[in-house]
Structures are given as structure tokens and as C-alpha cells.
């Protein structure tokens, strides 16, 4: 019971994460029926998704608050601090595809309670997908004796959302993944991630600052989705 169909790319989805993104603190707070709905939401989102990802390795020069990535300049003190010590970085973009947006819209029209669970499932699955892609990248760079920093996305700290345009543009993300940036600087499909990933020679444990990329490192302690 309450298990995602095995053998799918999304089989490892953490139902606890799905519930957390849906506004439910933990599995103990909801009924078996609700858990079944959450599992079903994961299956539907997984089947509606066409996950795609693209990366590009770039040179990196940090000049005060400015990170120069292959000639592009991102002005952000938090990004500069995060990438400190790195000489290269990966630009990264991933998406679950527009089918997931349409699935959520469909249920928003007729059954909002389920749409909220789908939204939670989609949030959990894009994280799962990104983590898996990044784990593969980490293995690749480990062979060169390098370590990858956690993903740092526009919108974190003072890394402006406006940088989404140039970041996805440099990746040719629309052509290869279908990720577009709206006039307001928002990515579509909605369950998409863009990020800069530092490539470091220093093992994670020996670096200060954001090491895991998870809630414990984040200064936004009021966040309603913060893991307790």
C-alpha cells in the first residue's frame, strides 16, 4: 500500500516530500485515502512528464560580486560567495515538460484538492530528477578529481530572477528542452529548474557555506516548506 509503481523513473519518489509540498506536515497527519491519492498523484505526474535536462561547462571568474561565466556577468554577492574558489561552473536546466502543467490545470478545473497533491508531486519529482542528473554529473567530475557544489538557482539570495534569460539562453534551453522564459522572467513549463553549479577541487566537507543544498543551509528560516 501507498507505494509508487516500481520500475519507473519516478519510483523512488519520497511520498513524505510530496505531502510536505502539498502543505501536509507528515504522513501521520493524513488518512490512508489521502496517502493513496498522493501516490496516485506521483504516478500521474510521472506519466505526464517528459523530463529533459541540459548542461554546459563554462569558465568562471569571480570579481567581487560579479561572477563571469563564459563572458556572461551575473552580479550577485550570494552567488559569488557560493562559488568562491571555483574556476569552472556548470550551467544547468531541467524540466518535467508541459504535460505536467496541463495535468495540474485539468484538475484545478474540477478537483482542486487533487491539483494540490499533483502540484506537490511535481515539485518532488523535479527535485528527484535534478538530484539524479546531478549525481551522474558528480560521478563524471569525480573521475577528474573534482566536486560539484549544490545547485544555485536565480531567485536564491540576491541572484536575480532576471538572470534566467541569459542562463537559459546560453544553454539554448528552449531548443533542447523546451524551457522558455516568460516576459516576467518566469520559466515555462512551470516545473523547471535552472541553476549554476560550481566545480570545485575542494571536497564538500572541507568547504564552508552551503554544502548540502538542503534546507539546513538556507537562511530563509520562515519558509513554509522548510523541513523540520
Residue 17 engages other proteins in binding (rule: CB under 8 A): no
Find the binder of other proteins among 183, 208, 221, 228 (CB under 8 A). 183
> Candidates 76-84, 165-173, 200-208, 210-218 — which segment interacts with other proteins by CB under 8 A?
165-173
Hey, what's the cell of 74? 551575473
Collapsed DSSP state (helix, strand, coil) of residue 171: helix
Give the whole-angstrom CA distance, residue 179 versus residue 98.
9
Neighbours of 175 (CB within 10 A): 9
Hey, what's the cell of 4? 509508487
Residue 16 engages other proteins in binding (rule: CB under 8 A): no
Are 93 and 53 spatial neighbours (Cβ–Cβ below 8 Å)?
A: yes
Site for other proteins in 188-227 (CB under 8 A): 188-190, 224
Are 60 and 87 spatial neighbours (Cβ–Cβ below 8 Å)?
A: yes
Nearer to other proteins among residue 23 and residue 203 (C-beta): 23
Residue 161 engages other proteins in binding (rule: CB under 8 A): yes
Q: Rounded to the nearest whole angstrom, what is the least distance from the CB of residue 205 to other proteins in the complex?
A: 27
DSSP string, 109-170: HH-HHHHHHHHHHHHHHHHHHHHHHHHHHHHHHHTTT-EEPPPB-TTSTT--GGGHHHHHHH
Residue 121 engages other proteins in binding (rule: CB under 8 A): no
> Candidates 8-16, 78-86, 160-168, 205-213 — which segment interacts with other proteins by CB under 8 A?
160-168
Which residues, other chains included, contact 131 with Cβ-Cβ below 8 Å and sequence gap of 6+? none
Site for other proteins in 54-113 (CB under 8 A): 55-59, 70-72, 88, 97-99, 101-102, 104-106, 108-113
Q: Rounded to the nearest whole angstrom, what is the least distance from the CB of residue 120 to other proteins in the complex?
A: 8
Are 15 and 3 spatial neighbours (Cβ–Cβ below 8 Å)?
A: no
Binding footprint of other proteins on the chain (CB under 8 A): 22-25, 29-30, 34, 37, 50, 52, 55-59, 70-72, 88, 97-99, 101-102, 104-106, 108-117, 119, 155, 161-162, 166, 169-170, 174-178, 180-186, 188-190, 224
Amino acid at each position: 500500500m501507498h507505494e509508487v509503481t516500481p520500475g519507473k523513473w519516478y519510483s523512488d519518489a519520497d511520498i513524505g516530500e510530496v505531502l510536505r509540498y502539498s502543505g501536509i506536515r507528515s504522513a501521520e497527519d493524513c488518512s490512508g485515502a489521502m496517502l493513496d491519492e498522493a501516490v496516485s498523484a506521483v504516478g500521474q505526474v510521472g506519466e505526464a512528464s517528459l523530463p529533459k535536462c541540459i548542461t554546459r561547462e563554462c569558465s568562471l571568474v569571480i570579481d567581487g560580486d560579479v561572477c563571469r561565466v563564459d563572458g556572461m556577468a551575473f552580479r550577485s554577492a550570494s552567488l559569488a560567495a557560493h562559488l568562491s574558489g571555483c574556476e569552472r561552473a556548470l550551467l544547468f536546466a531541467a524540466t518535467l515538460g508541459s504535460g505536467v502543467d496541463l495535468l495540474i490545470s485539468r484538475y484545478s478545473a474540477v478537483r482542486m484538492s487533487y491539483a494540490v497533491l499533483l502540484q506537490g508531486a511535481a515539485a518532488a519529482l523535479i527535485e528527484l530528477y535534478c538530484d539524479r542528473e546531478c549525481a551522474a554529473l558528480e560521478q563524471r567530475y569525480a573521475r577528474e578529481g573534482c566536486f560539484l557544489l549544490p545547485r544555485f538557482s536565480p531567485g536564491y539570495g540576491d541572484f536575480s530572477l532576471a538572470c534566467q534569460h541569459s542562463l537559459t539562453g546560453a544553454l539554448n534551453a528552449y531548443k533542447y528542452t523546451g524551457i522558455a522564459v516568460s516576459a516576467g522572467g518566469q520559466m515555462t513549463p512551470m516545473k523547471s529548474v535552472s541553476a549554476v553549479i560550481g566545480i570545485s577541487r575542494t571536497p564538500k566537507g572541507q568547504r564552508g557555506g552551503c554544502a548540502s543544498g538542503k534546507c539546513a543551509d538556507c537562511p530563509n528560516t520562515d519558509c513554509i516548506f522548510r523541513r523540520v
